[in-house]
Amino acid sequence: MDDSSEDVTDGNTEYGRKAFKRSRSHFTDRVTADGAASGWPVEPGRYRLVVSRACPWASRALISRRLLGLEGALSLGVTDPIQDDRSWRFTLDPDGRDPVLGIRFLSEAYDARETGYPGGVSVPALVDTVSGKLVSNDFQQLTLDLATEWTALHRDDAPDLYPEPLRAQIDEVAEGIYRDVNNGVYRAGFATAQEEYEQAYADVFRRLDLVSERLAGRRYLVGDTITEADIRLFTTLVRFDAVYHGHFKCNRNKLTEDPVLWAYLRDLYQTPGFGDTVDFDHIKRHYYAVHTGINPTSIVPAGPAMDGWRTPHHREQLGGRPFGDGTPPGPPPAAERIPEGHRP
């Protein structure tokens, strides 16, 4: 989801102060196997996934798409990590236009769907290439649908990221992580009152401690394979030391100082489909340059050091099968590879 102030609203919390509150996705149409309920059927090549590699919510969809082998069926548009007042922009593409959609700004797809839409323009965004209209910006549902509704287009031996027997447990674990970690770092970072910040800070580290305890004796969050729950945790953890520790003042400790979480994070980062989607240059430039209310100088820090990400993690000693009965994805398409110097 968009990390700009456009997509956050103030609201009363249970502790009685004005606080950060993430706005709900406005466009929640679903692309389903037959399209019977939504009118949007799964079709190869029909939809385009627009992301920012800086955004943790969009990164969920990037990872799911890679693990499931949907690159040939669902094309990818990547925005500039720096927005302007007209929203996410396609300045990384020739002539500043998305080569498939033909638009300069993601807001144009929103306008094609609903003229004068007053909310923020967020990623990930699923866009219909036939009409140019936005289909969905529902980051919570999108990856679940990729895992369950797009199965006819999955690669051979794709993993089951949302296995039916474990869905209730995955949902429960993911909900706590979303509330206290995924969104908790934003509640801390955008806090405008001390009490509000300290509550969010406490929530973040309480949940991280619980997760660390859970992962001390098991390789993955739910079951013995990678699931949706791991994807959702990874996208926050991978940004933690580079952004959230300093920029969002979540500074009790770094992830590298928690032996369990740091090993878990390295394990996933070294797994095909995870680290090969991460662009630390985009992540740092977006957060530090766009959030001028937090960082008015827009100076992007040189650190932290990127060494250590590829060191042995030894998590395989806990057992588990990363892809279950499936296999790892192959290398990313050449056009989607992260540039040299943007990742360890």
Catalytic residue of the set 47, 55, 220, 250? 55
Residue 55 designated active-site: yes
State the maximum Cα–Cα separation within the chain, in Å, rounded to a whole number: 55
One of 47, 110, 186, 244 is an active-site residue; which one? 186
* Residue 250 is a catalytic residue: no
CATH superfamily of this structure's domain 5-153:
Glutaredoxin (3.40.30.10)
Residue 88 is assigned to a ligand binding site:
yes
Identify the pLDDT of residue 24: 64
Task: Tell the CATH topology of 164-336.
Answer: Glutathione S-transferase Yfyf (Class Pi); Chain A, domain 2 (1.20.1050)
From the first residue on, what is the mean pLDDT of each consecutive set of 10 residues in the chain (344 residues)?
39 38 78 90 98 98 98 98 93 97 97 90 97 96 98 98 98 98 98 98 98 98 98 98 98 98 98 98 97 96 94 97 97 96 92
Nearest to 3 by CA among 48, 61, 54: 54
- Domain ranges (residues) in the chain: 5-153, 164-336
CA atoms within 13 A on the CB side of 121: 25
- How far apart are alpha carbons 195 and 264 in whole angstroms? 32
